[in-house]
Amino acid sequence: MIVGAGPVGCYLGQLLKHAGFDPLLLEEHLEVGRPVQCAGIVGRGTFEEMRLPVSHASILNTIDGAKVIYNGYSFDINRPKVAYIVDRAVFDKELSHGLNIELNTALQEVHPIKDGYILKTSNGEYYTDIVIGADGPNSKVRKSLNFVSDMKLYRGYQYLVKTAAKLQNMVEVHYLKPFSLFTWIIPEGNGHVRVGTISNNPYHELNDFMEKMGVEGEVVEKNAGAIPIGTCELVNGKAALVGDAACQVKPITSGGIYYGMKSAELLADAIKEGDFANYKKRWVEEFEQEIKLCLLVRYITENIDKNVLDRIFSYIKDNVPLIEKIGDFENHSSIFWSLVSNPRTYPTLGTLLLGMVKNPKFILRSMFRAAR
């Protein structure tokens, strides 16, 4: 039984169905894909690297890069066809075709019994021998079964605005605090833009941003959601977590579809093999170091002095060609390693280390985060 019929839960369901299983999915909402809780920018790898084909019918626009702005600094990163803007309702529905889904069925509690689990829901009780939590950042599966986690939930808010985009094939990213708090303008490609933010006070931040940037037009849709950042236990008995429920989210950009769907492939393999331990083992090999490094970078930039952060951002601006050549939309550590290996980085690294030395407690906390 899979709790949650979002893209990750549905993709896992399709993988298991292809392997000869007949999973039952429980979805709390009245339909798959609604309400939308995502900015809807999906890397090209999601359409090219999955084992099962992902429908292109959901694609609304092609993105060729980003304009990045922070504290007076501005630069463009050009990467042709690096990502797509998708209609998330269509994206999710396409993945759900042919699956056995119980809609309008909200999980309330999970109780382990001798040979499986009892799931108490708004639609009665269900029994299953294996339960998978694909039920998002506020996962009831995770909470009911006491999975160990250190995740922090950030708040996101977005408007779909009927207006012409200034940049038709580029995303604008305005950092409030690199690389955790930011606001965006995403061209949907059909006379609409998505304007959203991840911030401490997202409603007010978004409205202030729109006024400041002169974004005018009819707000035709409002979306809100939580973004989990951190780490989480993946397996507990014959229960497992995947996607946002397992905090399988890119710490730098807060995107979770690619990691969640690739993780679903690892989980499907483990279920086919009858050994959940393989899920954790392979996930550690595939993703853990990437996420830990990006969490460390995020933690450092959230806590260092503003002057040091300005110096780092200025250096990134000066090395855009290197980022365009080496950077990976899904694996951001490639950017950090390429910059660190460049001798021109050493003065900037020295500034960063000097800024950290001034705060010994921060050094100890950073080392602890790196070691986990």
How far is 5 from 20, CA to CA, in rounded Å? 19
User: Would you place residue 33 in the very low, low, confident or very high pLDDT band (cuts 50, 70, 90)?
Assistant: confident
Please report the sign of the dihedral spanned by the C-alpha atoms of residue 123, residue 125, residue 128, residue 132.
positive
pLDDT value at position 347?
57
Q: State the DSSP H helix or E strand holding residue 228, giving kind and residue range, or none if neither.
A: strand 218-229
**Greatest Cα pair distance in the chain:** 63
**Which strands, in side-by-side order, build the sheet including 41-43?**
41-43, 73-86, 59-70, 171-177, 181-187, 192-198, 152-162, 218-229
Residue ranges per structural domain of the chain: 2-286, 293-371
> Which of 332, 143, 93 is CA-nearest to residue 245?
143
**Architecture label for domain 2-286:** 3-Layer(bba) Sandwich (3.50)
Cβ contacts of 359 within 8 Å, gap of 6 or more = 303
pLDDT in tens, 321-355: 777 766 555 565 555 655 566 555 555 555 555 55
pLDDT in tens, 247-278: 999 998 888 999 999 999 999 999 999 999 99
Please report the sign of the dihedral spanned by the C-alpha atoms of residue 276, residue 279, residue 285, residue 291.
negative
Put simply, whether the predicted model's pTM sits higher than 0.75 gets the answer: yes
pLDDT in tens, 292-330: 888 888 888 888 878 878 877 887 887 787 777 665 555
| Residue 157: pLDDT over 90 | yes
